[in-house]
């Protein structure tokens, strides 16, 4: 049995992939009732028969990795201490969003000048990256995030922040105006990032052809997940196609932080919401997310709070 200490950004599903085991096995071995609740510093027992090869460290040699269902190039890069660009270059990948199950990847060592950059800090004062006082293209800090969403725990903030900042960078949510609106909407939609999956069963969506739910069980299968709740087979298919992830085949991945925040960024970009954020049109951003103005007072409260923190 091997002991692993949970780090910021870890999820039980990600650890199961890394150690070639299952979420159920990790839950049973460690007496974890809720697979979505693990904390930074928590000690997990991993059966030795499933132990994964250690990721590449600075100055390490190149290794190899076989792509599994649900993998993304960014997730593989993060687990092996390298970058998407270095992986793409080493494997002659022209489109980082297109990898396939069973594909053999060369994992480059980091001593050969692959251009690895340090991720943005996940802790610190109220300033952003580099000590900026507001939101920046480098993302936000744990302190800023928790000022906007005070009911979000420190552990969850530390776990989610790297994925949130990566998703904002990918969606070009890289100015205070854009970040204020994006985070305000996420705060309302997810209960301050406390709910990554709809509490209801999803049965209410059964037979909703407007959501692409045409097969028996689609309502529950494609229930709302993520900080902007992705709902319906058609939307799972569209998000998965855009991000290079088989969300239609593996809808449960939509609640994992490494995927969930990217989905929120994709949703934001697919509706051209940066342009409305740039114009300061919070009402139209709300309409395009909600289809109306549900919970407007709550959304505006978070928006004002975000402006005070990032503006």
For 234, the 3-state DSSP assignment is helix
Q: Which residues pair with 117 in a beta bridge?
A: none
CA neighbor of 257 nearest in space, from 122, 63, 103, 82? 122
For 63, the 3-state DSSP assignment is strand
104: left (phi over 0), alpha (psi -120 to 50) or beta: beta
Q: What is the CA radius of gyration of the chain?
A: 19
CA neighbor of 69 nearest in space, from 102, 115, 106, 98? 102
Structure-token pair, residue 100: 């396939």
Token pair 């507001």 is at which residue? 134
Q: How many whole angstroms separate alpha carbon 79 and alpha carbon 73? A: 10
**Known catalytic membership, residue 189:** yes
CA neighbor of 185 nearest in space, from 291, 261, 298? 298
DSSP class of residue 196 equals S
Q: Catalytic one among 158, 170, 180, 189?
A: 189
Q: How many whole angstroms separate alpha carbon 196 and alpha carbon 156? A: 12
Active site residues: 189
């Amino acid at each position: 049995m091997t002991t692993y200490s949970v780090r910021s950004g870890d999820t039980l599903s990600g650890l199961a992939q890394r150690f070639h085991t299952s979420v159920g096995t990790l839950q049973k071995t460690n007496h974890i009732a809720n697979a979505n609740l693990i904390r930074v510093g928590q000690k997990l027992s991993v059966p030795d028969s499933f132990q994964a090869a250690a990721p590449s460290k600075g100055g390490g040699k190149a290794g190899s990795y076989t792509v599994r269902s649900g993998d993304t190039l960014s997730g593989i890069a993060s687990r092996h201490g390298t970058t998407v660009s270095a992986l793409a270059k080493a494997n002659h990948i022209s489109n980082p969003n297109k990898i396939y199950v069973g594909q053999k990847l060369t994992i480059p060592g980091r001593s050969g000048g692959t251009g690895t950059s340090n991720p943005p800090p996940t802790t610190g004062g109220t300033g952003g990256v580099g000590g900026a006082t507001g939101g920046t293209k480098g993302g936000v800090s744990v302190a800023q995030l928790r000022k906007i969403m005070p009911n979000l725990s420190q552990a969850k903030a530390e776990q989610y922040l790297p994925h949130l900042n990566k998703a904002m960078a990918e969606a070009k949510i890289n100015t205070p105006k854009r970040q204020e609106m994006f985070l305000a909407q996420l705060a309302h939609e997810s209960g301050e990032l406390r709910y990554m999956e709809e509490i209801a069963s999803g049965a209410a969506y059964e037979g909703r052809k407007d959501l692409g739910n045409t097969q028996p069980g689609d309502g529950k299968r494609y229930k709302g997940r993520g900080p902007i709740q992705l709902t319906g087979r058609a939307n799972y298919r569209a998000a998965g196609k855009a991000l290079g992830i088989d969300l239609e085949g593996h809808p449960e991945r939509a609640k994992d932080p490494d995927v969930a925040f990217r989905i929120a960024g994709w949703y934001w970009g697919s509706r051209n919401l940066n342009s409305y954020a740039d114009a300061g049109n919070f009402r139209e951003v709300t309409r395009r997310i909600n289809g109306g103005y549900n919970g407007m007072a709550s959304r505006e409260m978070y928006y004002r709070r975000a402006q005070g923190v990032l503006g």
